[in-house]
């Protein structure tokens, strides 16, 4: 499972690091965070590579101070390490790395939610589509898509969870759910492994911190 993201917004962290806006201590902490394998920050660093290359191409040459040269080399080394690192397997619960979703005047809209993008999880055949995240209140709403024959492991709920079957069928223990069925699990409750024979799409609202239970 991936580590919980604790340093802040990955996009802001990567931009601040690449721009040299971090203090020496902040930069060192971010480098250690990257080295620990944070997929979200690594992706943001990769996304910044074209912009950094354009800036360097248009810059006027001038001899840097020894301190600046060392800092630039350190950041360049980190960028190269990220770009050359092998792609990591998807996290079992990628929503644990999601940042909060913004809105306007307390209202948030998500158009064509089912159209994607979908994010793979580390569970074979299970992908997730982020809709809304509120980290301050430990809540997320997302679409889950399970391919035919896939299963999601047993897990304990850190907060109340609500699930509505939009398409297909889902077997939850001895209960068989079909399109239109709804279930609610209270905080602290344990969900058994869930399986779908023909595939399904679920709308789920729950905690970001549910814990998988190993068999």
- pLDDT for 159-214, tens place per residue? 999 999 999 999 999 999 999 999 999 999 999 999 999 999 999 999 999 998 87
Question: Is 5 among the domain residues?
Answer: no
- Model pLDDT, residue 103: 64
Determine, yes or no, domain membership for 123. Answer: yes
2 occurs within a structural domain: no
- Structural domain ending residue among the three candidates 84, 107, 125: 84
Q: What is the mean pLDDT of the chain?
A: 80
Give residue 2's pLDDT: 37
User: Which residues, 6 or more positions from 94, have their beta carbon under 8 angstroms from its beta carbon?
Assistant: 2, 39, 119, 121, 128
Residues 101 and 79 in one domain: no
Asked whether residue 4 is assigned to any structural domain, the reply reads no
Q: Where does the pLDDT of residue 75 fall: very low under 50, low under 70, confident under 90, or very high at 90 and above?
A: low
Same domain? For 25 and 63 the reply is yes
Instruction: Give me the number of domains the chain comprises.
Output: 2
Report which of residues 137 and 91 the model is more confident about: 137
Query: Can you spell out the DSSP letters for the chain?
Result: -PPPP-SS-HHHHHHHHHTT-S-HHHHHHHHHHHHTT-HHHHHHHHHHHHHHHHHHHHSPP-PPPHHHHHHHHHHHHHHHHHHHSPPPPPPSSGGGGPPPPP-BTTB---TTGGG---EE-SSTTEEEEEEEEEGGGTEEEEEEEE-TT-EE--EE-SS-EEEEEEEEEEEETTEEEETT-EEEE-TT-EEPPEE-SS-EEEEEEE-S--EE---
pLDDT of residue 16: 76
pLDDT confidence band for 64 (50 / 70 / 90) = low
- Residues 6 or more apart from 21 whose CB is under 8 A from it? 15
Residue predicted with more confidence, 133 or 107:
133
Whether residue 104 sits in one domain with residue 59: no
Domain stops at, among 35, 50, 84: 84
Per-residue pLDDT tens digits for 17-57: 777 777 777 777 777 777 766 777 777 777 777 765 665 56
121: domain CATH number is 2.60.120.10
Whether residue 17 is found in the same domain as residue 54: yes
Q: Which of 60-69, 124-133, 203-212 has the lowest mean pLDDT?
A: 60-69
Same domain membership, residue 109 and residue 48: no
Report the sign of the C-alpha dihedral through residues 146, 149, 150, 154, in that order: positive
Instruction: Please indicate whether residue 141 or residue 113 has the higher confidence score (pLDDT).
Output: 141
Instruction: Of 73-82, 97-106, 174-183, give the lowest mean pLDDT range.
Output: 73-82
Lowest-pLDDT choice from 88-92, 115-119, 202-206: 88-92
**Residue 178 tokens, joined:** 């079909």
Query: Does 159 lie in the same domain as 54?
Result: no
pLDDT of residue 51: 65
Q: Which of 45, 63, 84 is the last residue of a domain?
A: 84
Residue 60 lies in a domain: yes
Flag whether 3 is in a domain. Answer: no
Domain residue limits at 36: 10-84
pLDDT of residue 46: 77
Percentage of the chain modeled with pLDDT above 70 = 72
pLDDT at res. 1:
35
């Amino acid at each position: 499972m991936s580590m919980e993201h604790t340093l802040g917004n990955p996009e802001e962290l990567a931009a601040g690091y690449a721009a040299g806006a971090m203090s020496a201590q902040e930069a060192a902490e971010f480098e250690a965070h990257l080295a620990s394998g944070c997929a979200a920050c690594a992706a943001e660093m990769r996304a910044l590579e074209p912009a950094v290359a354009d800036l360097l191409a248009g810059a006027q040459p001038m001899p840097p101070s020894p301190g600046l040269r060392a800092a630039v080399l350190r950041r360049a080394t980190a960028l190269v390490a990220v770009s050359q690192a092998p792609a990591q397997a998807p996290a079992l619960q990628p929503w644990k790395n999601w940042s909060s979703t913004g809105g306007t005047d307390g209202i948030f809209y998500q158009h064509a939610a089912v159209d994607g993008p979908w994010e793979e999880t580390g569970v074979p055949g299970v992908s997730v589509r982020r809709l809304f995240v509120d980290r301050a209140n430990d809540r997320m709403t997302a679409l889950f898509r399970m391919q035919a024959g896939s299963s999601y492991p047993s897990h304990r709920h850190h907060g109340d969870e609500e699930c509505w079957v939009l398409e297909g069928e889902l077997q939850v223990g001895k209960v068989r759910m079909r399109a239109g069925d709804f279930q609610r699990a209270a905080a602290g409750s344990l969900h058994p492994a869930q399986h779908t024979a023909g595939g399904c799409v679920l709308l789920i609202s729950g905690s970001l911190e549910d814990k998988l239970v190993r068999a």
